[in-house]
Amino acid sequence: MPARLIDGKQTAAAYRERVKADVAAFTQKTGVTPHLAAVVVGENPASAVYVRNKQRACEQAGIGSSLHALPESASQADLLALVQDLNADPAVHGILVQLPLPGQIDERAVLDAVAPLKDVDCFHPENVGLLSQGRPRFAPCTPAGVMELLAAAEVPTASARAVVLGRSEIVGKPMAMLLLARGADATVTVCHSRTADLAAVCREADVLIAAIGRAKFLTADMVKPGAAVIDVGINRLPDSEGGGLAGDVDYDAVNEVAGALTPVPGGVGPMTVAVLLRNTLTAAELQTAGEPG
């Protein structure tokens, strides 16, 4: 029997409606419109699409947005100066630096330069530290989106065995922290492509999160029958394989084994954007209330 579809578009639409209502109430109460500034360096086509989608989502939620574009040749000093200008602008509540950045720029230095109260991606070490202590200021967008999908699909995490395939700073590590948090209470294993007997480790999972960045890496023999599988990956296939997009999960094969499964596209991606909107509102609330940081 095919796996139950975990529909990210449907879940995100409902989540965004709640954010929209909360934005309207906040703006009516304070006269402040939350504002997200997106920073793009170069002309990466994928980045351009992502930013347009985020700006459109902001508009639909009643959140202001602005795009700040620098050329591919921009120096690190140019980008840091722009970030500092946005940090100092009281009308800007959230700053999104679209990744990846060109090779001449130190990505970590730029992300560290974003003011913690405006770090709506939750990449700043101060915000990561708060997350690790179980008292997050912002929810990391993609991992929090995964948690929302699991909740909406009524996939239990308390006492569940969860495996996170991938150890990145953006998804894998914060995903593990959210699954470990009080209320989620999963027993969590983080693994990667060099984990010994990786397939056996993955087969232990009641909840399996694939975030390794390799197309169709997770195959059916790596999945426990009936497990909930969340595919975080989005990979562009070469023309020799028909082009198009594929997740980190071999969808057709895993669909016959898993109990529940997210599609690509239409799974985690819409929820990542939805959580970004919530974080922008949270940032505006904190800054309007005068929280130091």
List binding-site positions for NADP(+).
Answer: 166-168, 234
* Alpha-carbon torsion angle 225, 226, 230, 235, nearest 10: 40
Question: Which class for 47: exposed (0-12), middle (13-18), buried (19 or more C-beta within 10 A)?
Answer: middle
Do the Cβ atoms of 113 and 82 come closer than 8 Å? Answer: no
Q: How far apart are CA 19 and CA 278, in angstroms?
A: 6
- Other C-beta atoms closer than 10 Å to the C-beta of 95 total 27
Q: First vs last Cα of the chain: how many Å apart?
A: 51
As annotated, the binding site includes 166-168, 234
Geometric angle at alpha carbon 133, from 202 and 120, rounded to 5°: 85
Q: How far apart are CA 27 and CA 70, in angstroms?
A: 31
Q: How far apart are CA 175 and CA 163, in angstroms?
A: 10
Just list the catalytic residues. Answer: 54, 98, 121
